[in-house]
Structure 1
Amino acid sequence: MADAIHDIEIRNLYKIFGPDGASLVDKVKNGMSKEEIKSRYQHVVGLNDVNLTIPAGQIQVVMGLSGSGKSTLIRHINRLIEPTAGSVMFDGKDIVQMSQTELRNFRREKTAMVFQKFALFPHRTVLENTTYGLDIRKLPGKEAEERARRWISRVGLDGFEDSYPNQLSGGMQQRVGLARALTNDAEILLMDEAFSALDPLIRTDMQSVLLDLQAELKKTIIFITHDLDEALNLGDRIAILRDGEIIQQGTGEQIVLRPANDYISSFLRDVRRGHVITVRTIMRKGERSDTPVTLPHTTLLEEAARAMTNENTNRANITDAKGNHVGSVTLAKTVAEMIAPDDTEEVSLEEAVA
């Protein structure tokens, strides 16, 4: 494992596709629209002044519809795409300014990528696919194989080491891709629509596998998706892109509680609020109830409602991370907030994340 992990700082990042993109940055900065850049100059604005801090050891989800710029953004982190302007800082260095040798080492040692289409070598076995990154780094064969076997086992593919990709299901192939990324022991995992090609049940299973591994490994993961449910399930933080611009970022709970505009509200229409919002956002601070149920402040509303129902009570006390009493909630309020926002008792964003 790496000795230290570092935030990724993306600052004032622009990507304008076309031969003279650099000459158009100022026009975009001055407010010229993506449509006007396209019609007048036949260039395409891929990213428009993206600023994003990706916390070390967490899952940062970047979501948006097709053409929003999310895949373009992730490819700037390992510079598979050259930016038109801006910086991508990691461990005190600007990836944009790295020499080819520095960049090659950064890609090999610090990053690993998991693709939507698996990107496995059809002529290599599961074991050989998994050791590929270590082979490139010329790690001794025995050590590479030991590492690969360990991660193959961890992703649930014991016994398939000598199988070829075409002998595996889609979900199993993606487990190979994940094992390959983890075997490389990279600090940063770049996952571009990694589970989008999978059937819904297999997709949910892979999300669980990733979360279980992340609970132990604490990698810095940038996960691209167009699916809000997946974003809310996986993301410690979420950034929503539209036309190359970040239009909202924060925790899933912050976004569900306070959508920035109607566009984001439309995404949230069918969200299971009780699976995202925690009791700390709806509790009455300082109030104490006579109830057998005490819950941590991070308890989701669905879990809180279930706990109160199981104990045949309509109230629960809430404690903070240190176990200190901080407030209480009612079953009625909990169920109401699961169904729809309550305009009569709105919670400020500062209170929601306190």
Structure 2
Amino acid sequence: MSSETATSDSNQPVIRCDSVYKIFGANAKSMLQDSGGMVDAAKFQEAGCIVGVNNASFEVHAGELLIIMGLSGSGKSTLLRCISRLTDATAGNIYIDGEDILSMNNKILIELRRSKMGMVFQSFALLPHKTVLENIAFPLQVKGVSTQDSIKRAKEMVDLVSLTGRENYFPRELSGGQQQRVGIARSLAIEPDIWFLDEPFSALDPLIRKEMQDEFLRLQSVLSKTILFVTHDFDEALRLADRIAIMKDGIIEQLDTPANIVLNPATEYVQKFTQEVPREKVLKIESVMDPFDPKEDVNDLRVSKDAIIETVAESVLNSGKPVTVVDETGEVVGAIHGSKVVNILFGGHTNQSGKQAS
């Protein structure tokens, strides 16, 4: 899941939102027109309208995992529902593979959802009278796939999400984490290009949640789906995302990589999310490395520029010398000094370039 692999050959985004608004209330459209797009949430609320999404514009490319996060009422789930058109936007344009979904009739929209979109929500919504296998096969059968082929596909999904041996269990016989795996397998059975997940792990206890995050990362490394994932958990966002969009009162306050959000929060609101984040768990070696000096006496150890600092800190500190940093091809791109790692681990501060102050 890297930004480098997130762009398709055509460079056309899989999802594109242009000035998307969602305002709830009887006078929403007329008030929006009168405002000229400059929406004051407080004034709209006084007039009996609730601003769910306020002028959201962004792109998501193939294979990218974008997490939309914010506190309750920030508009994150509303934005997801607008993009999947479970909710109709008040204004703006939303494109899926270049097609304007707001102009689609119901028949075309339903076919788009069936063929391209997978959805997983906080509530597992499993059919209690059907087995694991039958639950997973159900959306395929709705599409008209034969029972034999749908069961075959369902078995493949059971293996993919590590539920082998539980094919004939009913939902009541499964743990919360296992039920969530069934929900994920069911959404993947139709082989969606785009995967929408709305707080999929928030109902799980912390240990199972961590296991599901691990499973999710494994699945994404295999499947490379284009994903919009909603959460209110900043740690979860940092762990999973290629990019994060942080929302407040319907507005996207900042959309950036996890490292840039932590290093350079764009607003005071974003900074509140980042101030307690252990930098070593987020930042990559690339963000604190120095230029490589051929004359410098370096250790034989080499570390990847994409390595999270926490994962290599002990090796770097024990090396006694600067350590060579390499890219994915093995080419030398810099050097990491123990002093930079110490600053990260024990309270060094960052300047706007993302480099550690010495």
Aligned match of 2:58 in 43, 52, 62?
A: 52
* Contact 1:314–1:332 (Cα < 8 Å) also in 2: no
Measure, in 2, the Cα distance between the counterparts of 1:21 and 1:279: 48
Measure, in 1, the Cα distance between the counterparts of 2:312 and 2:270: 27
* Contact 1:296–1:319 (Cα < 8 Å) also in 2: yes
Query: Which 5+ residue runs of structure 2 have no aligned equivalent?
Result: 1-9
Pairwise CA distance, 1:337 = 1.9
Match of 1:168 in 2: 174
The within-5 A match list for 1:250-261 is 250-261=256-267
Query: Which 5+ residue runs of structure 1 have no aligned equivalent?
Result: none
* Contact 2:128–2:170 (Cα < 8 Å) also in 1: yes
Aligned match of 2:341 in 334, 337, 348?
A: 334
- TM-score of the pair, normalised by structure 2: 0.92
CA-based RMSD: 1.8
1:14 equivalent to 2:21? Answer yes
Measure, in 1, the Cα distance between the counterparts of 2:65 and 2:125: 22
1:242 equivalent to 2:251? Answer no
**More displaced 10-residue stretch of structure 1: 26-35 or 197-206:** 26-35
The within-5 A match list for 1:1-354 is 7-29=14-36, 31-39=38-46, 41-287=47-293, 288-309=296-317, 311-343=318-350, 346=351, 348=353
Pairwise CA distance, 1:27 = 4.4
* Contact 2:32–2:39 (Cα < 8 Å) also in 1: no
Pairwise CA distance, 1:54 = 1.2
Pairwise CA distance, 1:63 = 0.3
Pairwise CA distance, 1:286 = 2.8
SS at match of 1:160: coil
SS at match of 1:47: strand
Moved over 6 A (4+): none
Match of 2:7 in 1: none
Measure, in 1, the Cα distance between the counterparts of 2:165 and 2:311: 37
* Contact 2:132–2:170 (Cα < 8 Å) also in 1: yes
SS at match of 1:206: helix
Measure, in 2, the Cα distance between the counterparts of 1:261 and 1:237: 17
Measure, in 2, the Cα distance between the counterparts of 1:28 and 1:235: 34
Pairwise CA distance, 1:30 = 5.2
Measure, in 2, the Cα distance between the counterparts of 1:63 and 1:99: 30
Measure, in 1, the Cα distance between the counterparts of 2:87 and 2:44: 20
The residue identity in structure 1 corresponding to 2:243 is R
Measure, in 2, the Cα distance between the counterparts of 1:228 and 1:339: 22
The residue identity in structure 2 corresponding to 1:38 is Q
The residue identity in structure 1 corresponding to 2:38 is G
Pairwise CA distance, 1:272 = 2.1
Measure, in 2, the Cα distance between the counterparts of 1:300 and 1:244: 32
Pairwise CA distance, 1:341 = 4.9
The residue identity in structure 1 corresponding to 2:112 is F
* Contact 1:152–1:179 (Cα < 8 Å) also in 2: yes
In the superposition, relative to structure 1, how do residues 307 and 14 fare at CA in structure 2: closer, same or farther (>3 Å)?
same
SS at match of 2:135: helix
In the superposition, relative to structure 1, how do residues 266 and 6 fare at CA in structure 2: closer, same or farther (>3 Å)?
closer
Measure, in 2, the Cα distance between the counterparts of 1:252 and 1:152: 32
SS at match of 1:131: helix
